[in-house]
Structure 1
Amino acid sequence: MDNFVPIHDSRFESSNEPIPTLKPESIYQRFFPLFKIGEKRRSRKPDFPDKVSTSYEKPKLSRASKQKQLDWQPVKGSQYKFSVYSAYSYNKTEVVIIATTKSQTKEKVACVFHFDNGQKIQTTIGKVETMGEHWGMMYAGTFIRCPLPISSDFTMPHSVSVTVINSNSSKVNGHVDQEATMLGNPLIIQYKSEEDLSNPPFNFSVCVLPTFNYNEVFHFLEWLEFYKLLGVRHFTLYNITIGPDTSCVLKELMSSAADSGIVVDVHPWHDFPIKKNSEIRSGPCGECGLSAATNECIYRHKGLSKYMIFVDFDEFIMPRSAQDYGEMIRSMDVMNKSVEIGEYSIRTGFFGRFRNNDELRVDMCEELKRKNSVFTYHVCKHLLMVKKSLREETILMHNDRSKYIVKPEAVLEGGNHHVIQLDSGYETLVAPPEVAIVRHYRFVEGFWHIPKNTSAVPDRISKSFGVELAKKAELNVLKTIPFDLIKFNVLIIEVYFYSEAEKTELDTLLTSNGYQFVKNIEVDKIYIHKSVSYMLDKTV
């Protein structure tokens, strides 16, 4: 556990009151009973599934439907580091493979297609294209475009492998010999039809690029509930090392996804082949591979989501007046009826977590205490969205640390802070700060765009939003309490904002931990611990 970022570090908090923290020991004992506290992990791979839901993948091929997303797989025959990750097809002419290899490589590749029903494998010559954000470094994210072979019965291949062509290779036009079946990097082809592209199952999805040593579980729950509140129903993460406490919360979220209507997908990213920042433009860690991850997420969500949002865990895209993202997008579309928008660029404002808390905003949580919602009151006053409202005066320009919302089908290539290439007929709209900004919460003064000893301006969210966010986050926070170590005699929980499914989930959580339901009082539910149930006749 020494390798993980702590949930709370007092160096970065100006308030004397500690933030609510969890005890990692109790969490491990609940979720990982065989793991000894203090013992270092031998593997960086997580203890939760790499992927949750595959029900929306089409077509449901006999083999593909049984496969989960594999990690990076090496390509044989290359003199460089060369690996492939996933394969997608949106028409009947080509397959696009997400890969990484030497920038502007001259190596030629063969795409080896595998069919069901015992058909012979076939090959075509692939085209290798280096992604735009490579900064002249040795390695880069890469597209491999493979023409689809035409089979005699017009069936489509279920998977594709990649090999480097050299003078000793088997022939690559038509059929290949048995050696090609041993390539070792089969990628299940994820097909998307025109119907899929025009009628995706999700309106808004969030993608978080490779996650490295992240373990701020309290603020992760705040981040998650914020985006749920604004209409997001699908979350995609790429995992390198997610911290132990956040892993536990993710397991809980993934197991209850079907009941909540929220889908959380976590894909493996442990085996990205380039490990050094000096070799690839990769972000906070050598193995992040941001260009490859960005475009993998875009191509994965074509036909899966109408809009795709790219943010990190410390970034909140905040509409200024709209109640949700649907209303925000519609307001921008109305102002630009003459063009088809493919990218909505949102400019960034930095909020220093090292700055003093905004006591005026924290005071707004007091109404929760007056309504006897004491637990929600304590959640509310520790939300970043509530207590940290001082923003650096300058809101950065488009392309400068900006984030974006896209229509995935409109994007040919994405970048970290802006779209590199849109399909023909689409344009970029830079959202005015009066419509929305990215609230980016930074720890360190003097880092990137937060110079030392600078003044800041208050940038406050609405009063009702902070309170509602606290109430939405409450149930997930309750799930993290180690009830085997902590006992409350009486719990009074306001359930005004709870759905019927959430009320049932709350009841199951508490009754399974030794509490019994007593009664409803207006919008509150009262539970009492069984150890003090003898007091019921005197108090109720």
Structure 2
Amino acid sequence: MGACSCTAGGSTGVITMEGPLRRKTLLKEGKKPTISSWTRYWVMLSGSTLLYFGAKALRGTERKHYKSTPGKKVSIVGWMVALPDDPEHPDIFQLNNPDKGNVYKFQTGSRFHAILWHKHLDDACKSNKPQIRQHQVQGQRNLHGHLDMYKMLCAGKKSYFAAVVCIMTVTLMLVVSYLRLQRLSHQPKVIQESRRCRGKIALSTITALEGNKTFIISPYFDDRENKITRLIGIVHHKDVKQLFCWFCCQANGKIYVSKAEIDVHSDRFGFPYGAADIICLEPENCDPTHVSIHQSPYGNIDQLPRFEIKNRRPETFSVDFTVCISAMFGNYNNVLQFVQSMEMYKILGVQKVVIYKNNCSHLMEKVLKFYIEEGTVEVIPWPIDSHLRVSSKWRFMEDGTHIGYYGQITALNDCIYRNMERTKFVVLNDADEIILPLKHPDWKTMMNSLQEQNPGTSVFLFENHIFPETVFSPMFNISSWNTVPGVNILQHVYREPDRKHVINPRKMIVDPRKVIQTSVHSVLRAYGKSVNVPMEVALIYHCRKALQGNLPRESLIRDTTLWRYNSSLIMNVNKVLSQTMLQTQN
């Protein structure tokens, strides 16, 4: 689905939210409809009125694909909106008209937009209604209303089937009202006062919460929608039910607790643990520098680890391109290819490379030390196997492991937020992958052109192509490199052809300020559009084991694009190897 948009303001005539939605009727006047199917609309929320614009075409998610005049106008004052906790369908919200017994389900296309619609609709449903201080009083009135509806609708049913359906319908309404009654407010509340903030500062990259299947990576300030703290973490997708953020405000000496929204990313690939956003509203009259996480709103904050909230102060972009590589594991020792990739990145315009390192060889440590001292590389320790049973595969194989590919997806999300205020673009690829421009000399020129051609785009996806490391060219067989462990990419210029009915995966260059959640080959949620970059503009050079190992050499495609950079690449690689290998020998 296309992106929704929202505009400040809530009075009649001001569009506070709009976008493409699919609607389905669950109950009509308290009865389940005989036939109910999804219907596409462009929906606008103006004050407390919903306007439905019918679709003009079978497909399409832009405003132009829908009619110019609304087919329906509905006031939702007094209605109820619910956000079901359904991991299988995270993009759903429901609207309930208790007066008429109508219940509608809406599909937004993403969890983010479901939350956004829920927020604005909840405000609209409460508009023009007298404020009641006690939530329970209103909740009880709603419950009594449903009981009266039960008496009115169900008492006169003569057939067994009609009575059962009627009872189930009203039961559903009661459940909705009960959940609404029981739902805790997410607004921060003062729970105690303290002269100063104590608690031990968490210094590890991965911090396990005691007695809870939750691991915190880092919190980040995020004011793109609301004033929130967004913690990147890892949670058990079923067992972690609730968490609370504890904010200690030095300015007024008060401690606030805010109930967290736990948003487990949809791309767990069957593993019990997955990347998660733990989102908490911040106190309005405080800009906390640290936050603690607890499974209860009660306790002693002095006993909880404190996490520094990053991105609190906006920075000017220090670099144009930052490459995020995750995760380096398995005693990584592909030294030559790593150095060649690093030098290619620098030739193409990269100023920073962030590596989430689990472990690597002694020689690789020397190379990383060189690049750290040079100022190019930042190493983030990634001891995930100290906390969870990790898999080196991306899909769960029923083998007792907890999380896939050494927690790669969590690391990528952390890398985006870590560099959100420091870099213009973040590049998400592996150390054996290089995005090669075909029409431009470097990434800056390429991205300027792509942005000009694709306004409003925040995610650029590049097609992956395999250059098998087992197929050699006799060119650039440099003898001094033969003693260095790893692959010499200059000798591998034959790529596999595309396969029928197989879509090549893609990697990305993104505007980090527009990304909310990312996976490996696509973003899960973003503010802007995504575009597939044509192969004639750029491709990913991926030198690795063959995927089509049975293909004869003559079936491969000779592609020497990499050789355009051979002179600079050879000189730069020799410089790095001369220093790192010399240090090793000494």
TM-score, normalised relative to structure 2:
0.59
The CA distance in 1 between the partners of 2:513 and 2:584, in whole Å, is 48
C-alpha displacement of 1:256:
3.2
Match of 2:295 in 1: 164
Match of 2:380 in 1: 267
- 1:131/1:291 contact within 8 Å kept: no
Q: Residue type matched to 1:341 in 2? A: T
2:302 corresponds to 1:181: yes
Matches within 5 A, 1:216-365: 216-257=334-375, 262=376, 264-271=377-384, 273-277=387-391, 286=404, 288-336=406-454, 339-355=455-471, 357-359=472-474, 361-362=475-476
Match of 1:522 in 2: none
Gap runs ≥5 in structure 1:
1-61, 171-176, 366-373, 487-540
The CA distance in 1 between the partners of 2:374 and 2:482, in whole Å, is 25
Task: Name the SS of the counterpart of 2:310 in structure 1.
Answer: strand
2:219 corresponds to 1:87: yes
C-alpha displacement of 1:278:
10
Q: How many residues align?
A: 378
The CA distance in 2 between the partners of 1:281 and 1:464, in whole Å, is 37
Larger Rg: 2
The CA distance in 1 between the partners of 2:500 and 2:365, in whole Å, is 33
Task: Name the SS of the counterpart of 1:204 in structure 2.
Answer: strand
C-alpha displacement of 1:206:
0.3
Superposed CA deviations along residues 202-223 of structure 1, whole A, max 9, x for unmatched, are: 1100000121021122221111
- 2:489/2:543 contact within 8 Å kept: no
- 1:124/1:148 contact within 8 Å kept: yes
Matches within 5 A, 1:481-492: 481-482=581-582
The CA distance in 2 between the partners of 1:102 and 1:233, in whole Å, is 36
C-alpha displacement of 1:465:
1.1
Match of 1:428 in 2: 530
The CA distance in 1 between the partners of 2:526 and 2:328, in whole Å, is 26
C-alpha displacement of 1:276:
3.8
Relative distance call for 1:325 and 1:183 in structure 2 (3 A) is same
Gap runs ≥5 in structure 2:
1-195
The CA distance in 1 between the partners of 2:483 and 2:567, in whole Å, is 9
C-alpha displacement of 1:397:
9.5
What is the alpha-carbon root mean square deviation over aligned residues?
3.3
Could you tell which deviates more after superposition, 411-420 or 449-458?
449-458
C-alpha displacement of 1:392:
0.2
The CA distance in 2 between the partners of 1:107 and 1:136, in whole Å, is 19
Relative distance call for 1:456 and 1:103 in structure 2 (3 A) is same
Relative distance call for 1:467 and 1:128 in structure 2 (3 A) is same
The CA distance in 2 between the partners of 1:480 and 1:237, in whole Å, is 19
Task: Name the SS of the counterpart of 1:70 in structure 2.
Answer: coil
- 1:112/1:122 contact within 8 Å kept: yes
- 1:344/1:405 contact within 8 Å kept: yes
C-alpha displacement of 1:105:
4.9
Superposed CA deviations along residues 37-92 of structure 1, whole A, max 9, x for unmatched, are: xxxxxxxxxxxxxxxxxxxxxxxxx99xx9895221112343xx211110000327
Match of 1:124 in 2: 258
Relative distance call for 1:67 and 1:327 in structure 2 (3 A) is farther
Relative distance call for 1:256 and 1:281 in structure 2 (3 A) is same
Q: Percent identity?
A: 22
Relative distance call for 1:483 and 1:404 in structure 2 (3 A) is closer
Of the three residues 446, 452, 475, the one matched with 2:550 is 452
Q: Residue type matched to 1:473 in 2? A: V
Relative distance call for 1:147 and 1:419 in structure 2 (3 A) is same
Q: Residue type matched to 2:277 in 1? A: F
C-alpha displacement of 1:480:
2.0
2:515 corresponds to 1:411: yes
C-alpha displacement of 1:401:
2.5
